[in-house]
Every structure is written in structure tokens, then in C-alpha cells.
């Protein structure tokens, strides 16, 4: 069995810190000496822009790899950190591969030749529950779900977890829900406290103890093509993600024992 941990970061909606979580966890893991690959599965290509710059558009992206069925393009960002870029074309992938046999396993096959090169592979999913997300669930060993505190948070979460269970029961029995992380948390807002209490009551220890507080630097960092840790290492956002990374790796170690 591979020692590589493939972490899928997925959410039922946008604006919950999904890409920020992928970028920051990848940065932290690589800084700790872990060989890390970030895979941008979102046609909005925000993860790609964070590390490669908004204007740099590689000739080959994950879209071409999906269509051709061979060699994913890997770009080195810094020591221990590589990125597989996305493109706007990825938004049409559902239609392009609709007739493919075993189309839900394409990503797993693309990652197979390179997975042993890394300690961690982090998949940043689109917010739509389409074939790309199914591919991520099929390729991953664990699932992390960021969720912001709004009135309909739990509703969408149920849909996403239902899909992950379908994939787990039918395609990928190794997929494990590692945890749910509360993001964009306002410590003084009553709604946030209510949503947190509801999530902890429903899901118990599956909800990470760490909450990611609302923080302006989290929004600012991608504008200058940096992750939050590189941009503002002493900010609340960087501190919170540092705690989350420790909690996440601790859970993975517990599972591996």
C-alpha cells in the first residue's frame, strides 16, 4: 500500500476557504520537509494563480492530462512543493469525458505514476458536485470539508457527505472522512456560534477543534500570489492554519497506528 496521503478538500459551495485551505496546508506541510503536490481541480484556477501567478498560463494543464489520459504537468514552486495547474477549460470536462469508460477513475490513474514521489497530495476540488469531484473522491485516501457558518451550512454538507459515501461504498472503500473544518469564523457573531454548536452536536469529533477565524490577510494573500503563511506568518489566519495542520497530521498518524 502506498505511504502517500491523498487529501481531498471539497465543499458543497464556494467562498468557504476551500482553496485557501489547500494552499495553506500544502505550504505548511512542505515547509516541514514533507514532499507535497497540490492539484488544482477547479476551473476558476485560484490555486494555480496563488502559486504560479494570475498571468502565467502553462501550455499544458490538468485539462489536457484528463483529455489525453497521460502525464500530468507538474510545476515546482519551491523546495518540497509542486503544483498541477488548472485552466478555464476544465469547466467543460463533464461533457468532454461523458462517454469515457471508468471516467470516475481518470484522476487516480493520472496520479499513480507520480504518487510515490510525494508524502502528501492535496486535491482542491470545484464547488460543483460533478465528475471532477467524483474523480477526487475516487483518488483520495481522506476527505477534509471546509464549512463556513451560514444558515444553510449543514444542508449542503449532508449532500456532499452522501456523495462521498456513495463513492466509498461503490468505488473507493479507502476513502475516509478525516474531518470538517469551520472557516471564516466570527468569534463574536451569534450565528457562527449557533452553527458551530449544531455541527459539533451532529458530527462530534469529526469537527476539527481548530476554527479558522475571519481574517483580512487570508483574502489579501492570493492577490500577490502568495499563501497566507508566506504573506503574513503572524496573522490569525496563519496561526489558525498552523494549528489545523498539526491537528490534521495528528489524526492521520492516529489512523496509521
Instruction: Enumerate the domain spans of the chain.
Output: 5-256
Instruction: Give the pLDDT score at 37.
Output: 98
pLDDT less than 70: residues of the chain: 1-2, 54-56, 153, 256-257
Second CATH level (architecture) for the domain 5-256: 3-Layer(aba) Sandwich (3.40)
Report which of 100, 101, 123 is spatially closest to residue 111, judged by C-alpha positions.
123
CA dihedral 234, 38, 91, 101 (to 10 degrees): -150
User: What pLDDT score does 58 carry?
Assistant: 81
pLDDT at residue 1 in the model: 42
**Which pLDDT belongs to residue 151?**
72
- d(CA 82, CA 27) in angstroms, rounded, equals 10
The pTM of this model reads 0.94
pLDDT at 55: 61
Distance, in Å, from the CA atom of 175 to the CA atom of 52, rounded to the nearest integer, reads 30
Amino acid at each position: 500500500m502506498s505511504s502517500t496521503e491523498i487529501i481531498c478538500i471539497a465543499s458543497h459551495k464556494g467562498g468557504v476557504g476551500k482553496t485557501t485551505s489547500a494552499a495553506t496546508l500544502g505550504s505548511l506541510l512542505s515547509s516541514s520537509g514533507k514532499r507535497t503536490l497540490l492539484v488544482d481541480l477547479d476551473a476558476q484556477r485560484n490555486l494555480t494563480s496563488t502559486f504560479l501567478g494570475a498571468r502565467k498560463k502553462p501550455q499544458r494543464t490538468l485539462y489536457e492530462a484528463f483529455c489525453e489520459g497521460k502525464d500530468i504537468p507538474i510545476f515546482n514552486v519551491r523546495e518540497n512543493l509542486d503544483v498541477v495547474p488548472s485552466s478555464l477549460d476544465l469547466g467543460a470536462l463533464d461533457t468532454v469525458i461523458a462517454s469515457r469508460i471508468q471516467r470516475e477513475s481518470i484522476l487516480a490513474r493520472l496520479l499513480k505514476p507520480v504518487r510515490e514521489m510525494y508524502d502528501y497530495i492535496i486535491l482542491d476540488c470545484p464547488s460543483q458536485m460533478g465528475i471532477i469531484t467524483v474523480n477526487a473522491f475516487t483518488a483520495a485516501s481522506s476527505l477534509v470539508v471546509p464549512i463556513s457558518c451560514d444558515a444553510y451550512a449543514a444542508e449542503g454538507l449532508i449532500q456532499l457527505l452522501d456523495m462521498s459515501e456513495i463513492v466509498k461504498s461503490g468505488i473507493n472503500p479507502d476513502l475516509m472522512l478525516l474531518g470538517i473544518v469551520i472557516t471564516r469564523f466570527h468569534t463574536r457573531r451569534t450565528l457562527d456560534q449557533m452553527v458551530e454548536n449544531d455541527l459539533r452536536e451532529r458530527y462530534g469529533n469529526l469537527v476539527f477543534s481548530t476554527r479558522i477565524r475571519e481574517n483580512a490577510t487570508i483574502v489579501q494573500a492570493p492577490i500577490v500570489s502568495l499563501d497566507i503563511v508566506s504573506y503574513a506568518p503572524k496573522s490569525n489566519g496563519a496561526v489558525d492554519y498552523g494549528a489545523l495542520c498539526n491537528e490534521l497530521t495528528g489524526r492521520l498518524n492516529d489512523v496509521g497506528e
